[in-house]
Amino acid sequence: MTQSTALAQIIDGIALSQQLRADVARRVNVLKARGITPGLAVILVGENPASQVYVRNKVKACEDAGLYSVLEKYPPDLSEAALLARIEALNQDPAIHGILVQLPVPAQIDAAKVIEAIAPAKDVDGFHIASAGALMTGMPGFWPCTPYGCMKMLESIHFDLRGKHAVVIGRSNIVGKPMALLLLQQHATVTICHSATKDLKAITLQADLIVAAVGRRNLLTADMVKPGAVVLDVGMNRNEAGKLCGDVDFAGVREVAGYISPVPGGVGPMTIAMLLVNTLEAAERAST
Protein backbone atom coordinates (compact mmCIF):
# COMPACT_ATOMS: atom_id res chain seq x y z
CA MET A 1 0.00 0.00 0.00
CA THR A 2 1.29 3.44 -0.83
CA GLN A 3 0.18 6.64 0.80
CA SER A 4 0.74 10.06 -0.65
CA THR A 5 0.90 12.08 2.55
CA ALA A 6 2.86 15.25 3.05
CA LEU A 7 5.76 15.26 5.48
CA ALA A 8 5.20 16.79 8.90
CA GLN A 9 6.04 20.44 9.35
CA ILE A 10 9.21 20.95 11.34
CA ILE A 11 9.00 23.02 14.52
CA ASP A 12 12.28 24.92 14.32
CA GLY A 13 13.55 25.39 17.87
CA ILE A 14 16.58 27.32 16.72
CA ALA A 15 14.58 30.01 14.89
CA LEU A 16 12.01 30.26 17.67
CA SER A 17 14.64 30.44 20.41
CA GLN A 18 16.40 33.23 18.50
CA GLN A 19 13.18 35.25 18.48
CA LEU A 20 12.74 34.71 22.20
CA ARG A 21 16.35 35.61 22.92
CA ALA A 22 16.05 38.81 20.88
CA ASP A 23 12.98 39.71 22.95
CA VAL A 24 14.90 38.99 26.16
CA ALA A 25 17.75 41.23 24.94
CA ARG A 26 15.27 44.08 24.40
CA ARG A 27 13.80 43.69 27.88
CA VAL A 28 17.29 43.45 29.40
CA ASN A 29 18.07 46.83 27.88
CA VAL A 30 14.95 48.31 29.48
CA LEU A 31 16.09 47.03 32.87
CA LYS A 32 19.65 48.22 32.31
CA ALA A 33 18.35 51.72 31.59
CA ARG A 34 16.97 51.58 35.15
CA GLY A 35 20.38 50.50 36.48
CA ILE A 36 19.56 46.81 36.85
CA THR A 37 21.46 44.04 35.05
CA PRO A 38 19.84 40.62 35.36
CA GLY A 39 22.38 38.16 36.77
CA LEU A 40 22.57 34.36 36.64
CA ALA A 41 24.93 32.19 38.68
CA VAL A 42 25.61 28.77 37.18
CA ILE A 43 27.25 26.19 39.42
CA LEU A 44 28.91 23.07 38.09
CA VAL A 45 30.33 20.48 40.47
CA GLY A 46 32.62 17.89 38.91
CA GLU A 47 33.62 17.19 35.36
CA ASN A 48 30.66 15.52 33.64
CA PRO A 49 31.42 16.22 29.94
CA ALA A 50 27.79 16.72 28.90
CA SER A 51 27.21 19.09 31.83
CA GLN A 52 30.29 21.09 30.86
CA VAL A 53 28.83 21.66 27.40
CA TYR A 54 25.39 22.57 28.80
CA VAL A 55 26.70 25.13 31.28
CA ARG A 56 28.98 26.71 28.70
CA ASN A 57 26.00 27.13 26.35
CA LYS A 58 23.89 28.63 29.13
CA VAL A 59 26.53 31.18 30.12
CA LYS A 60 27.20 32.08 26.48
CA ALA A 61 23.47 32.60 25.83
CA CYS A 62 23.31 34.94 28.84
CA GLU A 63 26.22 37.00 27.57
CA ASP A 64 24.71 37.19 24.07
CA ALA A 65 21.46 38.56 25.48
CA GLY A 66 23.22 41.13 27.68
CA LEU A 67 22.69 39.40 31.02
CA TYR A 68 25.43 39.13 33.61
CA SER A 69 26.45 35.56 34.33
CA VAL A 70 29.02 33.79 36.44
CA LEU A 71 30.07 30.21 35.98
CA GLU A 72 31.40 28.68 39.19
CA LYS A 73 33.17 25.36 38.71
CA TYR A 74 33.99 23.18 41.68
CA PRO A 75 36.00 19.97 41.96
CA PRO A 76 34.10 16.65 42.11
CA ASP A 77 34.92 16.22 45.82
CA LEU A 78 33.25 19.47 46.93
CA SER A 79 31.35 18.87 50.17
CA GLU A 80 27.61 19.29 50.42
CA ALA A 81 28.10 21.81 53.25
CA ALA A 82 30.40 23.94 51.10
CA LEU A 83 27.91 23.96 48.23
CA LEU A 84 25.01 24.85 50.53
CA ALA A 85 27.08 27.71 52.00
CA ARG A 86 27.84 29.02 48.51
CA ILE A 87 24.15 28.90 47.56
CA GLU A 88 23.24 30.80 50.71
CA ALA A 89 25.73 33.53 49.78
CA LEU A 90 24.23 33.75 46.28
CA ASN A 91 20.74 33.92 47.79
CA GLN A 92 21.88 37.10 49.57
CA ASP A 93 23.77 38.58 46.58
CA PRO A 94 21.73 41.43 45.01
CA ALA A 95 23.61 41.15 41.69
CA ILE A 96 22.34 37.58 41.25
CA HIS A 97 18.69 37.05 40.28
CA GLY A 98 18.88 33.42 39.21
CA ILE A 99 20.80 30.44 40.62
CA LEU A 100 21.24 27.22 38.69
CA VAL A 101 23.07 24.15 39.97
CA GLN A 102 23.69 21.86 37.02
CA LEU A 103 22.48 18.31 37.66
CA PRO A 104 23.59 15.61 38.23
CA VAL A 105 25.73 16.46 41.26
CA PRO A 106 28.32 13.99 42.63
CA ALA A 107 27.11 11.23 44.97
CA GLN A 108 28.23 12.87 48.24
CA ILE A 109 25.81 15.74 47.56
CA ASP A 110 22.05 15.38 48.04
CA ALA A 111 20.51 17.04 44.96
CA ALA A 112 17.16 17.55 46.71
CA LYS A 113 18.82 19.43 49.58
CA VAL A 114 20.68 21.63 47.11
CA ILE A 115 17.53 22.48 45.16
CA GLU A 116 15.62 23.34 48.33
CA ALA A 117 18.49 25.62 49.46
CA ILE A 118 17.96 27.95 46.49
CA ALA A 119 15.70 30.89 47.31
CA PRO A 120 12.42 30.30 45.41
CA ALA A 121 12.64 33.88 44.03
CA LYS A 122 15.93 32.87 42.35
CA ASP A 123 14.90 29.34 41.31
CA VAL A 124 15.09 29.95 37.56
CA ASP A 125 15.27 26.20 36.87
CA GLY A 126 11.85 25.84 38.52
CA PHE A 127 12.92 22.75 40.47
CA HIS A 128 12.22 23.97 44.04
CA ILE A 129 9.22 22.48 45.85
CA ALA A 130 7.78 26.01 46.03
CA SER A 131 8.03 26.31 42.23
CA ALA A 132 6.48 22.87 41.73
CA GLY A 133 3.66 23.77 44.11
CA ALA A 134 3.06 27.07 42.35
CA LEU A 135 2.85 25.31 39.00
CA MET A 136 0.49 22.70 40.39
CA THR A 137 -1.87 25.30 41.84
CA GLY A 138 -1.61 27.89 39.04
CA MET A 139 0.17 30.47 41.22
CA PRO A 140 2.98 32.71 39.92
CA GLY A 141 6.37 31.02 40.00
CA PHE A 142 9.07 29.70 37.73
CA TRP A 143 8.23 26.90 35.32
CA PRO A 144 10.94 24.35 34.48
CA CYS A 145 12.65 25.49 31.30
CA THR A 146 12.17 22.43 29.10
CA PRO A 147 8.39 22.03 29.46
CA TYR A 148 8.04 25.83 29.32
CA GLY A 149 9.94 25.76 26.00
CA CYS A 150 7.64 23.01 24.74
CA MET A 151 4.62 25.18 25.52
CA LYS A 152 6.19 28.03 23.54
CA MET A 153 6.68 25.66 20.61
CA LEU A 154 2.99 24.70 20.71
CA GLU A 155 2.06 28.38 20.90
CA SER A 156 4.22 29.06 17.82
CA ILE A 157 2.11 26.67 15.73
CA HIS A 158 -1.14 28.00 17.26
CA PHE A 159 -1.99 24.59 18.66
CA ASP A 160 -5.15 24.96 20.73
CA LEU A 161 -4.87 22.38 23.50
CA ARG A 162 -8.43 22.65 24.77
CA GLY A 163 -10.05 19.21 24.70
CA LYS A 164 -7.08 17.63 22.93
CA HIS A 165 -5.57 14.38 24.12
CA ALA A 166 -1.96 15.00 25.11
CA VAL A 167 0.22 12.01 25.91
CA VAL A 168 3.42 12.66 27.86
CA ILE A 169 5.90 9.79 27.89
CA GLY A 170 8.14 10.15 30.93
CA ARG A 171 7.41 11.22 34.51
CA SER A 172 10.54 13.05 35.66
CA ASN A 173 10.28 16.05 37.99
CA ILE A 174 12.20 18.10 35.43
CA VAL A 175 10.13 17.34 32.31
CA GLY A 176 7.30 14.78 32.41
CA LYS A 177 5.38 15.89 35.49
CA PRO A 178 5.60 19.68 34.93
CA MET A 179 4.83 19.15 31.22
CA ALA A 180 1.63 17.32 32.12
CA LEU A 181 0.59 20.11 34.50
CA LEU A 182 1.19 22.85 31.90
CA LEU A 183 -0.85 20.95 29.31
CA LEU A 184 -3.62 20.41 31.85
CA GLN A 185 -3.59 24.14 32.61
CA GLN A 186 -4.34 24.69 28.90
CA HIS A 187 -7.36 22.35 29.13
CA ALA A 188 -5.87 19.28 27.45
CA THR A 189 -6.85 15.80 28.52
CA VAL A 190 -3.51 14.47 29.70
CA THR A 191 -2.16 10.94 29.96
CA ILE A 192 1.25 10.31 31.52
CA CYS A 193 2.98 7.12 30.37
CA HIS A 194 6.11 5.58 31.89
CA SER A 195 8.15 2.41 32.10
CA ALA A 196 5.32 0.43 33.73
CA THR A 197 2.69 1.53 31.19
CA LYS A 198 1.03 -1.37 29.41
CA ASP A 199 0.53 -1.13 25.65
CA LEU A 200 2.09 2.29 25.12
CA LYS A 201 1.20 2.17 21.43
CA ALA A 202 -2.53 1.83 22.13
CA ILE A 203 -2.34 5.06 24.14
CA THR A 204 -0.08 7.09 21.83
CA LEU A 205 -2.29 6.22 18.86
CA GLN A 206 -5.08 8.19 20.56
CA ALA A 207 -2.92 11.26 21.05
CA ASP A 208 -3.33 14.62 19.33
CA LEU A 209 -0.01 15.60 20.95
CA ILE A 210 2.84 13.35 22.04
CA VAL A 211 5.72 14.62 24.18
CA ALA A 212 8.51 12.04 24.32
CA ALA A 213 10.76 12.60 27.34
CA VAL A 214 12.29 9.28 28.31
CA GLY A 215 15.87 9.24 27.05
CA ARG A 216 15.61 6.19 24.82
CA ARG A 217 16.33 6.26 21.13
CA ASN A 218 13.51 5.15 18.80
CA LEU A 219 11.05 4.93 21.67
CA LEU A 220 8.39 6.45 19.41
CA THR A 221 7.98 4.98 15.93
CA ALA A 222 5.64 5.84 13.06
CA ASP A 223 3.19 2.99 13.83
CA MET A 224 2.54 4.59 17.25
CA VAL A 225 1.45 7.99 15.91
CA LYS A 226 -2.00 9.08 14.72
CA PRO A 227 -1.86 10.83 11.33
CA GLY A 228 -1.56 14.59 11.79
CA ALA A 229 -0.54 14.45 15.47
CA VAL A 230 1.97 16.92 16.92
CA VAL A 231 5.18 15.31 18.22
CA LEU A 232 7.67 17.04 20.52
CA ASP A 233 10.93 15.20 21.11
CA VAL A 234 12.65 15.99 24.41
CA GLY A 235 15.13 13.09 24.18
CA MET A 236 18.90 13.65 24.13
CA ASN A 237 20.60 10.43 23.08
CA ARG A 238 23.51 9.33 20.93
CA ASN A 239 23.30 6.77 18.16
CA GLU A 240 26.02 4.17 17.42
CA ALA A 241 27.92 6.77 15.40
CA GLY A 242 27.85 9.19 18.36
CA LYS A 243 25.39 11.50 16.64
CA LEU A 244 22.87 13.38 18.79
CA CYS A 245 19.34 12.02 18.45
CA GLY A 246 16.07 12.15 20.34
CA ASP A 247 13.49 9.60 21.52
CA VAL A 248 11.57 9.75 18.24
CA ASP A 249 12.36 7.86 15.03
CA PHE A 250 12.39 11.15 13.15
CA ALA A 251 12.49 9.84 9.58
CA GLY A 252 9.57 7.49 10.14
CA VAL A 253 7.37 9.67 12.34
CA ARG A 254 7.83 12.61 10.02
CA GLU A 255 5.78 10.75 7.42
CA VAL A 256 2.78 10.44 9.75
CA ALA A 257 2.81 13.43 12.12
CA GLY A 258 1.44 16.89 11.33
CA TYR A 259 4.24 18.68 13.18
CA ILE A 260 7.47 17.38 14.64
CA SER A 261 10.39 18.89 16.52
CA PRO A 262 13.84 17.64 15.46
CA VAL A 263 16.87 16.70 17.58
CA PRO A 264 19.15 18.58 17.44
CA GLY A 265 17.53 21.95 16.74
CA GLY A 266 14.23 21.43 18.55
CA VAL A 267 13.55 21.48 22.28
CA GLY A 268 17.23 21.90 23.31
CA PRO A 269 17.66 25.53 22.21
CA MET A 270 14.24 26.33 23.68
CA THR A 271 15.34 25.15 27.13
CA ILE A 272 18.16 27.68 27.14
CA ALA A 273 15.92 30.47 25.84
CA MET A 274 13.45 29.85 28.66
CA LEU A 275 16.26 29.97 31.21
CA LEU A 276 17.01 33.49 29.96
CA VAL A 277 13.31 34.39 30.15
CA ASN A 278 13.09 33.10 33.74
CA THR A 279 16.25 34.96 34.78
CA LEU A 280 15.02 38.18 33.18
CA GLU A 281 11.67 37.78 34.95
CA ALA A 282 13.41 37.09 38.27
CA ALA A 283 15.22 40.41 37.86
CA GLU A 284 12.02 42.21 36.82
CA ARG A 285 10.17 40.84 39.85
CA ALA A 286 13.03 41.77 42.18
CA SER A 287 12.99 45.33 40.89
CA THR A 288 9.28 46.08 41.35
- Return residues touching ligand GUN (CB under 6 A): 100-103, 125, 145, 271
The least CB distance from residue 174 to ligand GUN, in Å, is: 6
206 catalytic residue (yes or no): no
Give the dihedral sign, CA 41/45/51/56. positive
Question: Which one is catalytic: 123, 125, 233, 247?
Answer: 125
The least CB distance from residue 145 to ligand GUN, in Å, is: 6
The least CB distance from residue 134 to ligand GUN, in Å, is: 18
The least CB distance from residue 101 to ligand GUN, in Å, is: 6
Residue nearer to ligand GUN on the CB measure, 148 or 159: 148
**Active site members:** 58, 102, 125
